Amino acid sequence: MANVSRRALMKGVGAAATLSMIAQMAKAEGKVKVGFIFLGPIGDYGWTWAHNKGREAIDAALGDKVETVYVENVAEDASAVPVIRDLANQGCKLIFTCSYGYMDQTIQVASEFPDVKFEHCTGFKRADNVATYNSKFHEGRAVLGTIAGKMSKSGVLGYLGSYKVPEVVLGVNAFCLAAQQQNPDAKVKLVMIDSWFDPPKEAAATDTLINLGCDIVTTHTDSPAALQILEQKGLYGFGQGADMSSFAPNAHLTAIEDIWGPYYVQRAQAIVDGTWKSEDTWDGMKEGTVIISPYNKAVPADVAALADGVQAGWKDGSYDVFKGPIYDQDGNLKVKEGETMSLADLAVIDWFVKGVESAA
Amino acid sequence: MTLDLIIAALMTVVGLTTPILLAGLGELVTEKSGVLNLGVEGMMLMGAISGFAVTVFTFNPWLGVLGAAFGGAASSMLFAVLVLQLNSNQVATGLALTIFGTGLSSLIGLSFVGRIVPPFSSIFPAALSRHPVWQVIFGYSPIVYFALIMVPITAWFLHRTRAGLILRAVGENDHSAHSIGYSVVGVRYAAIAFGGAMAGIGGAYFSMVITPMWAEKMTAGRGWIALALVVFAGWRTGRLLAGAYFFGILMALELYAKAAGFSFMPSQFWAAMPYLMTVAALTIISARGTQGANAPACLGKPFLPST
């Protein structure tokens, strides 16, 4: 199809004629175009890499009906607007914007293209043609916190964050609370580096956390830089978004893997079938959106059993890390004994739990 | 503050400083010859991927560093041909080199994603390089010592040798240098190549030392800080060294302040610090009325000989 349209262009057919021709051919061939806006490079081996795996799952499952396109390295500022608009103009019927920072841009472009469906990842603003989807990463982070709380000798854990957005705040809190269940005195030192991807800064921040006494550092940024520093120092950490054990065979205790494929396939199928609706989807371990990589051999059997227990608990609903009493950093009671935070509250959380040491 | 913490913090500062010091030194020499090359970021990335790739194939980090220097210099030659032979606009061409280097390094890097090399760490015996105190002197990659040695060598070259005098003459007054028989274009080719090689080694510090892996755009804007550093230093080598460590300390302070829970300054402000400091330095220099002191007079101007 692309070849034909290019040839048509070269023949000097007017732009309007060409466009209608492309549209007709698309209809004739019946392939639905699905677009993706990616935050980082697909080679980041983390967040964007995992989303791209999800895109490839669409190609594999619906390749005869659906065609996917993507744009990498799209900044989370106003410059995302023309990029999203461009995908809509290219004829995409469904566009996934795969990071929190595209929230308002997605809503804006969606209002210009009422016939195109949009899906925004990790946000909370919806419209008739904008759905949101998210993954309960905090369920995975509770597993990591359990391991870290049990394995840390100093009881001081490092957390390398990106920005203070609900997803990261949830991750920090889940990690800290789970660690405190194993070691009530556990503390989490938090450094936000104001970027999702900046390997030198991630490395320097990891250095800093280690220097200040952390013996396990977990990351909420997208490169394996922190793990490599931990490997060099003989300490432990966790992968983010994908199994990063090849970068740090000894330091990589386990990782949270994001599995977007089934959701993406299901939503693309809904477009093909014409059954797409604007919804808010927040799947987790139960649905298989978040999985935990195989444990490193450095994880002792009893710790692995505890971590498995947390995983099983999330899946059957018997475990929730956000069960009261929960205090915030200043010691105010935020969740009473016997209560559990609702998903709606979790989605907009903006305070850290007691035991988190942070600058903001 | 314990001694351990101070030593560890110093080592973090050295790690943050070395790449911008290397790239800054190279750019300083390039600018001294009258050429403004804004492609530092692209050359650093080309050096990062070249060094990494050579190390993957040869298992020899020394060859890797050579490869990085070559990768950076080769990409700078593209800029040199456009700017010196075709007299294109230096600012626009430099920006194009950054974009080109970013893209080409990503393309080459596709097949290296997910691979690692052993870190190019200290060559001193472990008794020194891992010693709790002496590691502050001996615990670094050879690239760190190379960067430090290059500072006095560059200063000596620029101010104590005939070749350095010619290079500065070309940067200050290209037509005069030309009229007494020096090859302006030849000198500038050499200066641009040196700048590219140094930026390449600076980039390799990321992909071979700090995090021995390849990731697209892994320099994350350090090339721009190196450019700001040259201006901040007023085109003087000694001040460049001081400025690089000043910037490095600022970057480390941000992380320590955050990790220790201090929030006296928004973090965006921290990130902007090197540039704010450069603006401040420029303001001070021009307020003194010495006309930017050391800025080469022909900086950024194409050389169009009348004869």
A29-33, A103-107, B197-201: segment of lowest average pLDDT: A29-33
Judge if A103 and A141 occupy the same domain.
Answer: no
Smallest Cβ–Cβ distance between B116 and the set A193, A201, A246 belongs to A246
Please indicate whether residue B26 or residue A357 has the higher confidence score (pLDDT). B26
Q: Residue A296 falls within a domain, yes or no?
A: yes
Q: Are A243 and A103 part of one and the same domain?
A: no
Find the mean pLDDT for residues B200-221. 91
Rounded to 5°, the CA angle A19-A25-A28 comes to: 145
Lowest mean pLDDT among A55-59, B4-8, B153-157, B236-240: B4-8
- pLDDT class of A360 with cuts at 50, 70, 90: low
Q: Is residue B274 part of a domain?
A: no
Residue B31 lies in a domain: yes
Any domain includes A193: yes
Residue A2 confidence (pLDDT)? 42
Cβ of B212 under 8 Å from any chain A Cβ? Answer: yes
Residue A308 CB burial class (10 angstroms; 0-12, 13-18, ≥19) = middle
A315 and A329 belong to one structural domain: yes
Give per-residue pLDDT as tens, A336-355.
Answer: 998 999 988 888 899 999 99
Do A225 and B251 lie within an 8 Å CB cutoff? no
Looking at the domain assignment, is residue A101 inside a domain?
yes
**Does residue A21 sit within a domain?**
no
* pLDDT tens-digit readout, B87-120: 999 999 999 999 999 999 999 998 888 788 888 8
pLDDT number for residue A260: 93
Q: What average pLDDT does the segment B264-290 reach?
A: 76
Record: contact B212-A357, CB cut-off 8 A:
no
Say if residue A69 is in the same domain as residue A218: no
Query: Is there a single domain that holds both residue A59 and residue A125?
Result: yes
Which residues in chain A have their CB less than 8 angstroms from residue B5's CB?
211-212
**Are both A149 and A103 inside the same structural domain?**
no
Shared-domain flag, residues A268 and A237: no
Query: Reduced to 3 states, what is the DSSP secondary structure of residue A326?
Result: strand
| Pair A273, A198 in one domain | no
Question: Is residue B303 domain-resident?
Answer: no
List, in order, residues 6 or more apart from A322 with CB less than 8 Å away.
Answer: A173, A174, A177, A335, A340, A341, A346
Judged against a pLDDT cut of 60, whether residue A27 lies above it is answered with no
Residue B280, number of CB atoms within 10 A of its CB: 11
Interface check for B219 against chain A (CB to CB < 8 A): the answer is yes
**pLDDT above 80 (res B291):** no
Instruction: Report whether pLDDT(B135) > 50.
Output: yes
DSSP designation for A340: B
pLDDT band at A3 (very low <50, low <70, confident <90, very high): very low
Would the CB atoms of A246 and B114 count as touching at under 8 Å? Answer: yes
Report the 3 state secondary structure along A94-139. EEEECCHHHHHHHHHHHHHCCCCEEEEECCCCCECCEEEEEECHHH
Total of domains in chain A:
2
Q: Supply the range of the domain harboring residue B174.
A: 3-220
**The predicted structure's pLDDT at residue A18:** 46
CB A217 within 8 A of CB A210: yes
Contacts of B111 (CB under 8 A, 6+ apart): none
Identity of the highest mean pLDDT range in A13-22, B63-72, B272-281? B63-72
Name the closest residue on chain A to residue B15, using Cα atoms. A204
Query: pLDDT tens for residues A211-262?
Result: 989 999 999 998 889 999 999 999 999 998 888 898 999 999 999 999 999 9
Would an 8 Å CB–CB cutoff place B113 in contact with chain A?
yes
Task: Tell me the residues of chain B between 249 and 268 that have a Cβ less than 8 Å away from chain A.
Answer: 251-252, 255-263, 267-268
| Same domain for A82 and A161 | no
pLDDT of res. A203? 94
Domain count, chain B: 1
Is the pLDDT at B216 greater than 90? The verdict is no
Task: Give percent helix, percent strand, percent coil of chain B, each to the nearest 5.
Answer: 75, 0, 25
What is the pLDDT averaged over residues A293-306?
95
Mean pLDDT, range B130-149, rounded to an integer: 89
Q: What CATH number has the domain bearing residue A277?
A: 3.40.50.2300
- Is the pLDDT at B271 greater than 80? The verdict is no
Query: Is pLDDT of A359 > 80?
Result: no
Among B109, B116, B262, the residue with its CB nearest the CB of A43 is: B109
User: Tell me, what's the pLDDT at A143?
Assistant: 96
3-state secondary structure of B43: helix
**Record: contact A203-B15, CB cut-off 8 A:** yes
A14, pLDDT greater than 60: no
Q: Give the gap in angstroms from C-alpha A204 to the nearest C-alpha of chain B.
A: 6
Query: What was the ipTM of the complex prediction?
Result: 0.86
**Looking at the DSSP assignment, which residues form a beta bridge with residue A134?**
A282
B130 vs A199, residue with greater confidence: A199
| Residue A34 within a domain | yes
Let me know if residue A323 belongs to a domain: yes
* Whether B213 contacts chain A with CB within 8 A: yes
Q: Specify the 3-state DSSP secondary structure of B287.
A: helix
% pLDDT > 90, chain A: 71
Partner-chain contact A224 B211, CB within 8 Å: yes
Q: Do A41 and B259 touch (CB under 8 A)?
A: no
Q: Mean pLDDT over all residues of chain B? A: 90
pLDDT at A195 over 80: yes
Could you tell me if residue B269 is inside a domain? no
Q: Is residue B247 part of a domain?
A: no
For residues A139-157, give the mean pLDDT. 95
Cβ atoms of A145 and A170 within 8 Å: the answer is: no
Mean pLDDT of A113-135: 93
In a domain, B177, yes or no: yes
Answer yes or no: do A326 and A210 share one domain: yes
Q: Is residue A11 part of a domain?
A: no
Q: Angle, nearest 10°, between helix axes B3-32 and B237-259?
A: 140
Placement of tokens 């989303």 in the chain: A51
CA distances from A127 to A76, A112, A117, A131, A265 (A): 20, 12, 10, 7, 21
Assess whether A215 and A266 both reside in one domain. Answer: no
Name the strand (E) or helix (H) holding A237. Answer: strand A236-241
Domain of A129 in residue numbering reads as 30-136+260-283
B228 lies in a domain? Answer: no
- Residue A269 and residue A253 in one domain: no
What is the pLDDT at residue B56?
93
The partner residue sitting opposite A204, judged by closest CB among B115, B252, B263, is: B252
Give B-chain residues touching A41 at CB under 8 angstroms: 106, 215-217
Mean pLDDT of A123-144: 93
Is A19 inside any structural domain? no
Residue B105, domain member (yes or no): yes
**B216·A194 Cβ contact <8 A:** no
Q: Between chains, do A41 and B217 touch, taking CB under 8 Å as contact?
A: yes
Per cent of chain B over pLDDT 70 is: 97
Which of B110, B119, B252 is closest, CB to CB, to A43? B110
Position B288, amino acid? R
Output the pLDDT for position A10.
40
CB A117 within 8 A of CB A271: yes
Q: What is the pLDDT of residues B32-65, one digit of tens each?
A: 999 999 999 999 999 999 999 999 999 899 999 9
Q: Given this model, what pLDDT does residue A20 score?
A: 47
> Which of A194, A203, A358 is opposite residue B268, by nearest beta carbon?
A194
